[in-house]
Structure 1
Amino acid sequence: MGEKKRKEISKGEFVFGKKNYKWMFIGLACIALGFILMAGGGSDDPNVFDDSIFSWRRIRLAPTLVLIGFGIQVYAILLNPKKNSKK
């Protein structure tokens, strides 16, 4: 590689723009919230079964939030920050 190309590469530009990072943070928050909602439901006594692990929150809501969060992450990665919607 030539010296000129090396200098162009090492200018210190980020791969993603501010908009991308904002959407990535939103997606990460959705994923974290989904895993937090999935947690718990166990019993302190191993001989006693607790039905709370089958609650609507743990079976439906939390995995849906995690999948939505991953979808937002994919959108954030594919989003073109240099494309200006206002002309």
Structure 2
Amino acid sequence: MCRNITELRGLEPAATADEISAAARQYVRKVSGITRTTEANAEAFELAVAEVAATTTRLLAELPARRQPPKTIPPLRRPEVRARLGI
């Protein structure tokens, strides 16, 4: 379902809060079908993103270290994305 969400486990250095939040936001967008929030759904959407991000953070902290890095580079670590976002 979410083929474009990048694997965050095994990154060196570890996944940042921004990377985890971006993955959570992408997941919530996909499962909810909401690409742009409105006043009516913004609170529920942001709450879901925060919960998914918190759960992902706990999961990554509890999993044993991975022997190999992920096969793809997370978007927030790609130079072209960092340049676009001004990071």
TM value normalised by structure 1: 0.37
Structure having the larger proportion of residues in helix: 1
In our comparison, the structure showing a higher alpha carbon Rg is 1
TM value normalised by structure 2: 0.37
